[in-house]
């Protein structure tokens, strides 16, 4: 046996390395965070927030009714003039304090994020929570430099922002929304998603500890009806929404003619393009990160894998081998690569699209792994023999499922990549810098990564084209969405 064969025959076994939730200080029941305190809902309800890995309740949470939302908006309205009148330096200090407190509670926030949402604790600890803190740090720095962010023009806050976030990055999306809004002198009413409200409520505790004036931030969990009611509140000056394209269109219709500025961060079906001159092993890691990170519950997931025909067999072979080494299971185990699917509803949606893929003639391969008896799980899956018209090549699956298409020329790669109603992100794998720039400039995608994927930074703008939405979050571009510039 050659040395090479001996080396590749090693099988790694991992002993469980679970994070302990023991020190997490969750309350049994959370009220609505309105006017600086947790309050009982007046016309809302209380519902349990479930752990998708066990189907057990993690804590009970108040869901806002229309009257509760009105109260939150009124409180934000009262607080706004004084918040805007503070100097940027003072507002920045509050944001800075929030960032530091997030850092201090990193471990707890990471564990709760994984318990409430199902994502591996390795990701919530190393990505979600540090990036949430980084967003507050970043916009803390901008608060006293707003004029520089808008090329020296006069900039004023919009007023009260209604902000709605999805369940896939609950704390991080809250940070993406709140940090720039507050830095610019707006106040905010934030509605977390129905299945993952807990880290936003821990953020409310942090906001209390940071002594933000009451009403500057309201956090009101609720379902889709609460979101729909919030955007229809008459006394709001801005709506920022991250979620599905269908709901985005509904919000756009609700705001038509009202003159309320809107930012939409919607769905995607992003192309991850591997050229024959790419560093193949590196590309395979990027493909895995692109689609299996956060169980594929990522708006910019590299869910359409475009491989140059000459290397397709090699890439697919290596990808399949690498997928076989993914560890699926307990989100709180630090060895876990792929955690639980966020909800039963989302699992049903993934299953239905995967069945459609099989029925339409694509070839499905899912890795064999032991899945826990309880909870919601889906084994990492790759589809080959995919045609561009197949539903799995067109629709957002939002799960650990990648659809492989091939191409022969650069022009064909660009055409196939742009053949989507979405335009959120793309990846390009090549060792030719000029080719990467040429392809990137021809792609209709808000973010294009070269030789990496799912790389986020608070200084970089993020947002979509076409049905992936409009407006940008992150960096100086993210200030524009919260300022009236004259």
- CB of 462 vs ligand NAD, minimal distance in Å: 6
191 neighbors 221 (Cβ within 8 angstroms): yes
- CB of 203 vs ligand NAD, minimal distance in Å: 15
250, 277, 285, 395: which one binds ligand NAD (CB under 6 A):
250
140, 424, 426, 448: which one binds ligand NAD (CB under 6 A):
424
Identify the CA nearest to 427 among candidates 315, 300, 341, 333.
Answer: 300
Q: State the sign of the Cα–Cα–Cα–Cα dihedral 391, 397, 400, 406.
A: positive
210 neighbors 50 (Cβ within 8 angstroms): no
Query: Can residue 44 be called a binding residue for ligand NAD (CB under 6 A)?
Result: no
What is the edge-to-edge ordering of all strands in the sheet holding 187-191?
A: 37-39, 32-34, 217-219, 187-191, 160-164, 238-242, 262-265, 469-470
Other CB atoms closer than 10 Å to residue 453's CB: what's the count? 27
Query: Can residue 396 be called a binding residue for ligand NAD (CB under 6 A)?
Result: yes
- CB of 253 vs ligand NAD, minimal distance in Å: 10
How many residues line the site for ligand NAD (CB under 6 A)? Answer: 30
Name 103's Cβ contacts closer than 8 Å, sequence gap at least 6: 130, 133
Query: Can residue 338 be called a binding residue for ligand NAD (CB under 6 A)?
Result: no
- CB of 469 vs ligand NAD, minimal distance in Å: 6
Q: Which stretch binds ligand NAD (CB under 6 A): 66-74, 113-121, 208-216, 223-231?
A: 223-231
Query: Can residue 251 be called a binding residue for ligand NAD (CB under 6 A)?
Result: yes
- Residue number, nearest CB to ligand NAD: 227
Identify the CA nearest to 355 among candidates 391, 385, 380, 323.
Answer: 391
Q: Which of 194, 233, 299, 396 is catalytic?
A: 299
Here the tokens at position 451 are 């030789």
Q: What are phi and psi of 50, to 5 degrees?
A: -90, 150
Q: State the sign of the Cα–Cα–Cα–Cα dihedral 78, 84, 90, 95.
A: positive
- Cβ closer to ligand NAD: 202 or 251? 251
Each residue 353-392 as x (binds ligand NAD by CB under 6 A) or -, in order, gives: ----------------------------------------
- Cβ closer to ligand NAD: 195 or 384? 195
215, 261, 268, 290: which one binds ligand NAD (CB under 6 A):
268
- DSSP type of residue 256: T
122 neighbors 334 (Cβ within 8 angstroms): yes
Query: Can residue 227 be called a binding residue for ligand NAD (CB under 6 A)?
Result: yes
Helices in 150-223 by DSSP H: which ranges? 170-183, 198-209
According to CB under 6 A, which residues from 135 to 174 bind ligand NAD? Answer: 164-168
Query: Can residue 294 be called a binding residue for ligand NAD (CB under 6 A)?
Result: no
Q: Would you call 360 a catalytic residue per the annotation?
A: no
Query: Can residue 266 be called a binding residue for ligand NAD (CB under 6 A)?
Result: yes
- DSSP type of residue 338: B
Q: Which of 233, 265, 467, 473 is catalytic?
A: 265
- Cβ closer to ligand NAD: 19 or 233? 233
- Cβ closer to ligand NAD: 250 or 360? 250
- CB of 329 vs ligand NAD, minimal distance in Å: 23
Rounded to whole angstroms, the Cα distance separating 412 from 112 reads 44
52, 65, 170, 243: which one binds ligand NAD (CB under 6 A):
243
Query: Can residue 223 be called a binding residue for ligand NAD (CB under 6 A)?
Result: yes
Q: What angle do CA 92, 96, 97 make, to 5 degrees?
A: 120
Identify the CA nearest to 156 among candidates 185, 181, 177, 188.
Answer: 185
Query: Can residue 267 be called a binding residue for ligand NAD (CB under 6 A)?
Result: yes
295 neighbors 400 (Cβ within 8 angstroms): yes
According to CB under 6 A, which residues from 310 to 329 bind ligand NAD? Answer: none
374 alpha-carbon distance from chain centroid: 25
- CB of 249 vs ligand NAD, minimal distance in Å: 10
Q: Would you call 265 a catalytic residue per the annotation?
A: yes
Query: Can residue 247 be called a binding residue for ligand NAD (CB under 6 A)?
Result: yes
Query: Can residue 194 be called a binding residue for ligand NAD (CB under 6 A)?
Result: yes
Query: Can residue 398 be called a binding residue for ligand NAD (CB under 6 A)?
Result: yes
Q: 187-191 and 217-219: which strand pairing?
A: parallel
Here the tokens at position 200 are 């936003």
Here the tokens at position 343 are 């909800």
Half-sphere exposure of 419 (CA within 13 A, CB side): 16
Residues forming the active site: 265, 299
Which residues here bind ligand NAD, judged by CB under 6 A? 164-168, 191, 193-194, 223-224, 227-228, 231, 242-244, 247, 250-251, 265-268, 299, 396, 398, 424, 464, 468-469
């Amino acid at each position: 046996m050659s040395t090479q064969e001996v080396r590749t025959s090693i099988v790694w076994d991992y002993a469980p390395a679970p994070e302990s939730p023991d020190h997490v200080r969750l309350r049994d029941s959370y009220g609505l965070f309105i006017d600086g305190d947790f309050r009982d809902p007046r016309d809302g309800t209380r519902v349990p927030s479930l752990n998708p890995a066990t189907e057990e309740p993690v804590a009970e949470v108040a869901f806002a009714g229309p009257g509760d939302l009105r109260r939150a908006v009124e409180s934000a309205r009262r607080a706004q003039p004084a918040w805007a009148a503070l100097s940027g330096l003072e507002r920045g200090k509050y944001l800075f304090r929030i960032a530091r407190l997030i850092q201090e509670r990193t471990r707890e926030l990471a564990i709760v994020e994984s318990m409430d949402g199902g994502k591996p604790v390795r990701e919530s600890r190393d990505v979600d929570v540090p990036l949430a803190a980084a967003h507050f740090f970043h916009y803390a720095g901008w608060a006293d430099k707003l004029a520089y962010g808008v090329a020296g023009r006069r900039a004023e806050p919009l007023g009260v922002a209604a902000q709605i976030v999805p369940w896939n990055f609950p704390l991080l999306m809250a940070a993406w929304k709140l940090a720039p809004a507050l830095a610019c002198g707006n106040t905010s009413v934030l509605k977390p998603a129905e299945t993952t409200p807990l880290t936003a409520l821990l953020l409310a505790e942090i906001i209390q500890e940071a002594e933000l004036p009451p009403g500057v931030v309201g956090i009101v969990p609720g379902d889709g009806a609460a979101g729909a009611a919030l955007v229809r509140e008459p006394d709001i000056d801005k709506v920022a929404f991250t979620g599905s394209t269908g709901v985005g269109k509904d919000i756009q219709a609700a705001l038509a003619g009202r003159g309320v500025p809107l930012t939409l961060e919607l769905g995607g079906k992003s192309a991850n393009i591997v050229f024959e001159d790419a560093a193949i092993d590196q590309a395979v890691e990027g493909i895995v990160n692109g689609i299996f990170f956060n169980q594929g519950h990522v708006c910019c997931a590299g869910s359409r894998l475009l491989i140059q025909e000459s290397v397709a067999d090699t890439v697919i072979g290596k990808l399949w081998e690498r997928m076989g080494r993914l560890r699926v299971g307990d989100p709180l185990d630090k060895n876990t690569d792929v955690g639980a699917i966020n909800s039963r509803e989302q699992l049903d949606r993934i299953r239905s699209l995967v069945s459609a893929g099989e029925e339409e003639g694509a070839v499905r391969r899912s890795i064999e792994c032991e899945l826990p008896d309880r909870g919601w799980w889906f084994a990492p899956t790759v589809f080959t023999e995919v045609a561009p018209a197949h539903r799995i090549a067109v629709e957002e699956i939002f799960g650990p499922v990648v659809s492989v298409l091939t191409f022969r020329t650069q022009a064909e790669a660009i055409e196939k990549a742009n053949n989507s109603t979405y335009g959120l992100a793309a990846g390009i794998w090549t060792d030719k810098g000029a080719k990467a720039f040429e392809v990137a400039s021809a792609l209709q995608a808000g973010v294009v990564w070269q030789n990496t994927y799912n790389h986020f930074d608070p200084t970089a703008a993020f947002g979509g084209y076409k049905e992936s939405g409009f407006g940008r979050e992150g960096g100086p571009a993210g200030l524009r969405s919260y300022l009236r510039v004259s």
